[in-house]
Amino acid sequence: MYRTKPARGMGYTAGKSSISIVMVDNQEGKVNLDTGAYCTCVGKSYLKTIVPDWQEKLMPIQGVKFSSASESMKPLGIIDLTLIFPHPSQCVRIKVEFVVMDNCTSNHLILGNDYLSIYGIDISNQKDRYFTIGDNKRQTFGFLNNKKQITVIKNEEKSPEKELFISEKIKEAEFNQELTERMIQTFEDMIRRFCAYGLEFKHFDGFNHD
CA distance 96 to 33: 13
Average of pLDDT values for 83-109?
A: 93
Average of pLDDT values for 28-49?
A: 93
User: How confident is residue 207, by pLDDT bands cut at 50, 70 and 90?
Assistant: very low
Q: Percent of the chain having pLDDT more than 70?
A: 64
pLDDT at 101: 94
CA distance 167 to 169: 6
pLDDT at 209: 43
Average of pLDDT values for 34-40?
A: 90
pLDDT at 36: 86
For the chain, count helices (H), then strands (E).
5, 12
Q: Does the pLDDT value for residue 201 go beyond 70?
A: no
18-209 maps to CATH 1.10.599.10: no
pTM of the predicted structure, to 2 decimals: 0.67
Amino acid at 29: G
Of residues 77 and 187, the one with the higher pLDDT is 77
Q: Three-state SS across 78-92? A: EEEEEEEECCCCCEE
Residues forming beta bridges with residue 83, ordered by sequence position: 94
Average of pLDDT values for 18-22?
A: 93
Q: Does the pLDDT value for residue 95 go beyond 70?
A: yes
Q: Considering only 19-23, 48-52, 133-137, 198-202, which range has the smallest mean pLDDT?
A: 198-202
Angle, CA 197 vertex, CA 131 and CA 150 arms, to 5°: 35
